[in-house]
Amino acid sequence: MKPTAIYIHIPFCDHKCIYCDFYSIITSDNIESFLTSLKREINYYSQLHSKERGVISVFFGGGTPSLMSPDYIKEIIELTKEKFSFASEVEITLETNPGTVDKNKLSDFRKAGINRISIGIQSFDEDDLKFLTRIHDKQTAINTVYSAVEAGFENISIDLIFNLPGQTKEKWKLNLEQAISLPIKHISAYSLILERGTILNKLVLDGKVQIQDEDYDAELYEITIDYLNEHGFIQYEVSNFAKPGYECIHNKAYWEYKDYFGFGPSAHSFINGKRWWNYSSLKRYISEVNEKQNAMMNFEELTKEQMRNEYIMLALRSKGLNLAEYINSFGAEWLDKHSRDFEIMKNEGLVEIEHNLIKLTPKGYAICDEILSKIL
């Protein structure tokens, strides 16, 4: 069976944070209609593809999935289990935000079938949290982690953001120190990105907020890699760090170029070299599914060159480019063309080349996009 991941987009939020560009809406009366459409969409694609696939992960993202009733989440999990073949052990993740759950609700999510929790903390600094317009404070974030432990979760991840306006190296180190003191297994640490259409991007364009430069961003990133590796969180992708054995299976499915289904408004799918994406509107999503059982807005069939470039990009962002596997899939022409580039990067300390593997160093990770633009 072909290993396949499932992403389920829950679009509801309490409010929109200034930096977020994911599709979300304020929690509405459309939850029941959304769930009916979501189930219909899952059923539709399962009839087309279920027999050849073994599901390895299910990821509830958003939005804020933890705003949903655990009973609703249980219904969706049970439906996916009924319609698709599940591997013997399937990672089932729920994104949650501090301030939206307590121990009892987390316990109910655990009973519903969730076995991994990802907590969107973003910062332990009160000023940073206010700037990001988060609904929680530092203590609520810490309490949420311990509530998850008490609810029976062992596999706990948190999200952090660095290079916030005015964030000193000392302040960022305090964030990392607080993070590693908690009973967690995984940390996703992201540089602040200015996304078009967000409130934050407008504030920067209007000169009301200043973002620090790329060199400073790279320094904070290097601090992150060194500190987390030193404390047992091993980097397995540009932005992700885990205790051994707790790498996110869903993340790795993307980086290893595995197939995945995306259900819900704005969700993307990638199956058999074909990519498609749903309408980014709950109202349109519901009407499309009601009419034709899916909400596909558009699709693209990837060319061999596009698949090659994506394969290289994803491999270098994560475990490294396995030369034998690459040549088996795409031939040696591209590698021959860029062999000199990789030798130069090796001499500059940007990549390591050994055991038939080209892998970025921490220094290379810091300028990953620049490296990829040079070779692709």
265-309: pLDDT as tens digits: 999 999 999 999 999 999 999 999 999 999 999 999 999 999 999
Question: CA 244 to CA 136: how far, in whole Å?
Answer: 30
Distance of CA 85 to the CA centre of its chain: 23
Two tokens, residue 191: 């540089």
pLDDT tens for residues 46-89? Answer: 998 877 889 999 999 999 999 999 999 999 999 999 999 998 89
> Can you tell me the distance from the alpha carbon of 286 to that of 30, in angstroms, rounded to the nearest whole number?
9
Q: Which residue has the tokens 């304020």?
A: 26
- How many angstroms separate the CA atoms of 313 and 372, rounded? 7
For the cut 80, the answer to whether the pLDDT of residue 25 exceeds it is yes
- Tens digits of per-residue pLDDT, 319-356? 899 999 999 999 999 999 999 999 999 999 999 998 89
10 Å CB burial of residue 180 (0-12, 13-18, 19+) is middle
Give the residues across from 234 on adjacent strands. Answer: 242
The amino acid occupying position 176 is L
Residue 65 DSSP SS3: helix
Enter the tokens of residue 52: 């050849």
pLDDT at residue 88 in the model: 87
pTM of the full predicted structure? 0.94
Provide the pairing of β-strand 186-191 with 240-242: antiparallel
Return the DSSP state at 233.
-
Mean pLDDT across the chain: 94
pLDDT digits (tens, 9 = 90+) for 177-224: 999 999 999 999 999 988 888 888 888 888 888 888 888 999 999 999
Q: Where are the domains of the chain?
A: 2-256, 315-375
DSSP string, 132-184: TT-S--HHHHHHHHHHHHHTT--EEEEEEEE--TT--HHHHHHHHHHHHTSS-
Concatenating the DSSP letter of every residue in 320-369 gives -EEHHHHHHHH-SHHHHHHHHHHHHHHHTTSEEEETTEEEE-HHHHHTHH
